[in-house]
Amino acid sequence: MSNRVRPDQAVESQRPRKVARIERTQEHQVRTTHRRRKVLTRLGVLAGFALAMVVYPVMGTITPYGNAAEALPDVVAGAAPSTARAILGGGPQLLSSDLPLPSVDDQASAILTSFEEPAGTALPDCVSSSHSSGSNGLLSSSDLCDLWVPGEKLRADAAVAFAALNEHYKSEFGHDICLSDSYRSLSNQYATKRARGYLAATPGTSMHGWGIAVDLCSDSSSGASKAWLDDNAGIYGWANPVWAQTSKYEPWHWEFTEAAASYYNEMWGTGY
């Protein structure tokens, strides 16, 4: 049986023994260094965990009150309670710091909940009133108030509330609510019916004819403006009615809700 020498053994035999020993020593040192680093890393993690979970909480609890016992009545210096007693009980007690809640005076509360005192004085010459003389589309000029858009009018109470809404809107967007229509005379209602067909109410029944409805321009009845009005117009008694959101989609049409509800009830026996 012949003794064959493997290629790697042949190469090994060709190298000096000293070089081979040096290489093996270096490999051993590298492996040893790696093992030490793993051990040190694990020890460091365990030590950090111990500091975070045990030492720091205990020191943070004890240290701030280290000299608190000496400040208590009837405690003599040098006779302070033990650390265990200070932690478990008998330490200083925190006093209640309850403060009275601010109150709203009666006058301010009445203003916030009443439409009789709209924000600002946008229509100083308009006397708010829900009474009107005349019929639908034939209201007296004394029952109507001019709005900020030339030629546009509303019944006094609706105008005052809508002007207050506009002041709030203007503080948010920097410009007035854009109007395309408001009070419609009876002749204007007939003209609108001929122009718009089923989208317009039967002449003599339109909320525009009572001076309690407005149509907004497209930029005020869409996007951020429409979203803002949906959220805030109700505070001032105005809304885009349900029918204008369903059966006939008219996001531009807004009504003074309390007044409109009474007319809807008279016409169809149903509320707003």
Helices (H) and strands (E) in the chain, counts: 9, 6
Q: Is the pLDDT of residue 262 over 70?
A: yes
- Report the alpha-carbon distance of residue 254 to residue 220 in Å, rounded: 11
More confident residue, 114 or 27: 27
- The pair phi, psi for residue 153, each rounded to 5°, is -135, 160
Residue 148 has pLDDT above 60, yes or no: yes
Mean pLDDT of 2-9: 54
CATH number of the domain located at residue range(s) 113-268 in this protein:
3.30.1380.10
Asked if the model's pLDDT at residue 191 lies above 50, the reply is: yes
Pick from 35-49, 71-85, 119-133, 245-259: least confident: 71-85
pLDDT band per the 50, 70, 90 thresholds, residue 263 = confident
Cβ pair 153, 211 in contact under 8 A: yes
Instruction: Inform me whether the pLDDT recorded for 113 exceeds 70.
Output: no
Task: State pLDDT tens for residues 62-79.
Answer: 555 555 445 555 555 555
Q: How far apart are CA 134 and CA 204, in angstroms?
A: 12
Q: Domain ranges in the chain?
A: 7-87, 113-268
pLDDT of residue 185: 96
Between 100-109, 174-183, 216-225, 226-235, the lowest mean confidence (pLDDT) is in 100-109
Say if pTM beats, i.e. exceeds, 0.75.
Answer: no
